[in-house]
Amino acid sequence: MRILHVIRQYKPVIGGMENFVENLAVHLKEKGIESEVLTLNADFSNGERFPEAEIINGIAVRRIPYFGSRRYPIALSAVNYLSEFDLIHIHGVDFLLDYLAGLKLIHKKPMILSTHGGFFHTKKFYLYKKLHFHTFTKMSLRNMSWIVADSEPDYETFKPISPERIELIENGINFDHYHTVAQEKGRKNRFIFVGRFSKNKRIDKLLDLVARLKTEFPDVHLSVVGRDYDHLKGEFLNLIERYDIGHHVTICEALSEEDLLKEMAEAAYFISASEYEGFGLSSLEAMAGGRTAFLSQIPSFKKMVSDGKNGYLVDFEDMDSAAEKIKQVLRSGAHDSVRFAGVETARQHSWGAIVDKFISMYEMVQNEETAPVSKVK
């Protein structure tokens, strides 16, 4: 069986969905299933162009040109790459889903969609997104053989459209890779955030938090690691200057996996004020690495963390309350039991069991007569 994974951004771009696809492809290869990745040829954050074809971590990657906006990039040549594959696995809800679904009668390939949060992960253009979802997305999903939701919120969103052909498979993490730094406790009062620089991540709140902590904890430090997806770095630098926290914040763009692990090992805590996460992959990866997590009170994080037991849930809507809660944890100093419980939570999401679920689904879809998703009423 040969699988083509279709995703609009891929390594070296850093992000939860990119990590997911790489890990899935690598673990499928270990099980004897060949995968390739089809993606766009530029980094949305800075316009950097990538090679047309290369091998990354043993996986063949093909890149194609596009036009239009990064919100809805149009890549007409995508359909030319499908013929040699048995099954097409589309990751994310965007043009590539709508386009390949619309051409199903031509290419006749079975297709699976992994939702990865849909496109409701930000409030921006919400009414437009809602309209698109209830028109184009619904029509596209009719031509999906199966839908995989990676979180309960996604499952509840997509289930009404396709109640007979949807499954919840939560994301897996490369536990052993991140666990290599678990014995490193990190420096006290040092935090790390890993993720795209986008509005929904609310990194501005993390900078506000550092400003509130620096007087009582003069050694407080935050490392912000990721790609500048929404061109926010300038805004962050202005906030850093306004808050006078230049000595307390490091912005790290496009770190290698090796350097990311080194940066993670320096921090005692992982922190995210995100207003939406389909799953929260970066958080689990940090927990696997022994970082104690401070997470916003969103549904996916509430499912992941029990406050005070395997991490901490923080109300970032009330920054006074958020700062005080984190100060209390920093004052106590002793949180090994929480850290170790976080590691065990992450261990439960290792890739071994997850990849077997995908293989079973692939085999089922391939063996069935390819039928469209149940019709939308």
Note whether 258 and 213 are same-domain residues.
yes
Beta strands 267-272 and 292-296, pairing class? parallel
> In the predicted model, what is the mean pLDDT of residues 336-360?
92
**pLDDT confidence of residue 134:** 75
> In the predicted model, what is the mean pLDDT of residues 139-164?
90
* Closest to 373 (Cα-Cα) out of 83, 168, 148: 148
The angle subtended at Cα 117 by Cα 274 and Cα 300, nearest 5°, is 50
Residue 133 is classified by DSSP as I
Note whether 34 and 102 are same-domain residues.
yes
**pLDDT confidence of residue 97:** 92
Q: For tokens 């999401």, what's the residue? A: 349
Note whether 204 and 258 are same-domain residues.
yes
Note whether 37 and 56 are same-domain residues.
yes
* pLDDT, tens digit (0-9, with 9 covering 90-100), for 156-206: 889 998 899 999 998 888 899 999 999 998 999 999 999 989 899 999 999
Note whether 53 and 181 are same-domain residues.
no
Residues 175 and 287: their CA atoms lie apart, in Å, by 9
Note whether 86 and 167 are same-domain residues.
yes
* pLDDT, tens digit (0-9, with 9 covering 90-100), for 240-281: 999 999 999 999 987 888 999 999 999 999 999 999 887 788
* H or E element, residue 192: strand 187-194
Residue 373 domain-assigned (yes or no): no
Residue 110 domain-assigned (yes or no): yes
Residue 375 domain-assigned (yes or no): no
Check whether 377 has a pLDDT greater than 50: no
Structure tokens at 167: 């499954």
Residue of higher predicted confidence among 39 and 229? 39
**pLDDT confidence of residue 257:** 86
**pLDDT confidence of residue 128:** 67
**pLDDT confidence of residue 118:** 64
**pLDDT confidence of residue 375:** 46
* H or E element, residue 268: strand 267-272
**Percentage of residues in the chain having pLDDT higher than 90:** 69
Note whether 159 and 182 are same-domain residues.
no
Count CA within 13 A, CB hemisphere, residue 1.
23
Note whether 160 and 200 are same-domain residues.
no
Note whether 165 and 207 are same-domain residues.
no
Check whether 321 has a pLDDT greater than 80: yes
Mean pLDDT of the chain: 90
Residue 152, domain extent: 2-172+350-367
Note whether 141 and 186 are same-domain residues.
no
> Residue 122 is which amino acid?
T
**pLDDT confidence of residue 254:** 74
**pLDDT confidence of residue 376:** 45
**pLDDT confidence of residue 59:** 98
- The region of weakest confidence among 117-121, 141-145, 229-233, 347-351 is 117-121
Note whether 146 and 184 are same-domain residues.
no
Note whether 164 and 197 are same-domain residues.
no
Residue 124 domain-assigned (yes or no): yes
Q: Band the pLDDT of 150: cuts 50, 70, 90.
A: confident
Which CATH number covers residue 194? 3.40.50.2000
Rg, the chain, Cα only: 21
Residues 270 and 226: their CA atoms lie apart, in Å, by 14
Number of separate domains in the chain: 2
> What pTM does this model have?
0.74
Residue of higher predicted confidence among 162 and 323? 323
**pLDDT confidence of residue 15:** 76
**pLDDT confidence of residue 125:** 64
Residue 377 domain-assigned (yes or no): no
Residue 117 domain-assigned (yes or no): yes
